[in-house]
Amino acid sequence: MFNIGSISNEIKEETKGLIDQNNHQEDIQDSLKQFTHNVSSEEILEALRQLYYIEKFASIDDIGNFIIILNKTTEKQLTKVTITDDVTHPINIFTKEIEYLESLVADIGQLLKEVEMENTDAIKSLKDRVATLSGLVAHFNRKEKILFPVLERRGIYILPRKMWADDDIIRNYLKRLQKRIEKIGEIEWRHVETAFIEFEAVFIEMLKQERLLLVPLMQEQISPVEWAQIAVESSAFDYAIEVPEIWHDPEIEPQTIEADLDAKKGTKNLRFGGGYLTTKEANLILDNLPVEITFVDKNGVFKYFNDLVESSEMMFIRTPISIGRNVANCHPPKSLSKVMAIIRDLKTKQRESESMWFKKDGKFIYVTYKALFDEDDEYVGILEYVQDIQPFFDLPQRMKRNAEK
């Protein structure tokens, strides 16, 4: 597996020079043949990622044009998926989603032109297609919550953080576009057109980043066992396209936990609180509390969540692949400073706990964060518990009046 930290400045500078020459329409075919003779595809792709994300030397279109001529001139196919032809494999589902979302945006652009020409029959089709764009949320969520944790294990942080920040911008542009599409006929047309143009620019650029820079990285860095785990956990976040079945490779042995390390099988009574429990009993109790529990240890490592319901039904979706992820990488860049400030205040006892609530899918969700300290007052970590408090709002009026007496 290629070590991403091993890329030399010489390779990066030569890649930079070739891109610059190609941008000026100079013939680089002979130079490319010589360059790629001694440089691997992984090294070239890492150079391109650094030039895009760190040095900001090249645009995504510069990179795309460079890869096109490199693929034509040499035997390398930098962005081709080669690990499998199975359409149900997560990497092929991901690339298929990219193609689908690109075509969806193109369709919407055409429908907008028809609506502008006062084709009233196109309005319903336009609204339906824009609503379908919500599939990008599932695509982004799987990328951020399942694919990025695996890359972070390899020491890859810059690409995930940059992409996640841009994903949040795209989500906001999508919300604005969908609101303005619903108001066609009530607002000036230029507002609808502007919303689409701005959304299209950032979204298409992200899809190009994924196809040219992320997919090859996934192919290089993610192991077969990890792909199997990704396949199982992806359904919790849904997909932008129809997925017929979960990918399974019979040659990949499922990961197992040694019996003496598996709390679900523990039969020895241990002291818990004011009594005794086996670890099996303690685990069952935690999994049956009417709250979602998450624990981050003193080093900021996401270490535990309870199995109250299936991941797809959770208020905050958690899956095992994120275990071991640093808490700073579990949150979108836009909310990171707020999250870290809460953790700092709880750790230093400036706050005893922090609670907040919001509405999600018609339910009121109540979230509490609390720092844990041991008998020596040493900081142990942060406990998060999430509750669905909608049932309290749904109490009969008679019971509410009695409670106020």
CATH assignment, 289-393:
3.30.450.20
- Is the predicted pLDDT of residue 340 greater than 60, yes or no? yes
Comparing 245 with 6, the larger pLDDT belongs to: 245
The ranges assigned to domains in the chain are: 4-73, 90-234, 289-393
Nearest to 323 by CA among 139, 89, 145: 145
pLDDT digits (tens, 9 = 90+) for 229-267: 999 999 999 999 999 899 988 888 766 556 566 777 888
> Mean pLDDT, the chain, as a whole number?
90
| E strand map for 98-229 | none
Please, which pLDDT band fits residue 201 given cuts at 50, 70 and 90? Answer: very high
Which superfamily does 90-234 belong to?
nmb1532 protein domain like (1.20.120.520)
Please, which pLDDT band fits residue 273 given cuts at 50, 70 and 90? Answer: confident
| E strand map for 230-288 | 269-272, 275-278
- Is the predicted pLDDT of residue 347 greater than 50, yes or no? yes
Element (DSSP H or E) covering residue 201: helix 189-209
Which residue carries 């870290």 as its tokens? 340
- Is the predicted pLDDT of residue 194 greater than 90, yes or no? yes
Enter the DSSP assignment of 251: T
- Confidence (pLDDT) at 364: 87
Helix, strand, or coil here: 250? coil
- Is the predicted pLDDT of residue 268 greater than 70, yes or no? yes
pLDDT digits (tens, 9 = 90+) for 217-233: 999 999 999 999 999 99
At 365, give phi and psi (nearest 5°): -110, 130
Please, which pLDDT band fits residue 204 given cuts at 50, 70 and 90? Answer: very high
Both tokens of 117, joined, read 């020409």
Please give the Cα distance from 22 to 61 (Å, whole number): 12
pLDDT digits (tens, 9 = 90+) for 52-64: 999 999 999 999 9
Residue ranges in 143-259 assigned as alpha helix (H) = 148-153, 158-182, 189-209, 215-221, 224-234
Other C-beta atoms closer than 10 Å to the C-beta of 55 total 11
Other C-beta atoms closer than 10 Å to the C-beta of 230 total 24
Please give the Cα distance from 326 to 321 (Å, whole number): 12
- Confidence (pLDDT) at 2: 46
- Confidence (pLDDT) at 399: 56
Q: Which residues of 373-397 are buried (b: 16+ CB within 10 A; e: fewer)?
A: eeeeeeeebbbbbbbeeeeeeeeee
When pLDDT is averaged across residues 133-160 and rounded to a whole number, the result is 95
- Confidence (pLDDT) at 16: 95
Other C-beta atoms closer than 10 Å to the C-beta of 228 total 21
Which residue carries 């709880």 as its tokens? 346
Nearest to 234 by CA among 138, 109, 343, 363: 138
Both tokens of 25, joined, read 């329409």
Comparing 357 with 384, the larger pLDDT belongs to: 384
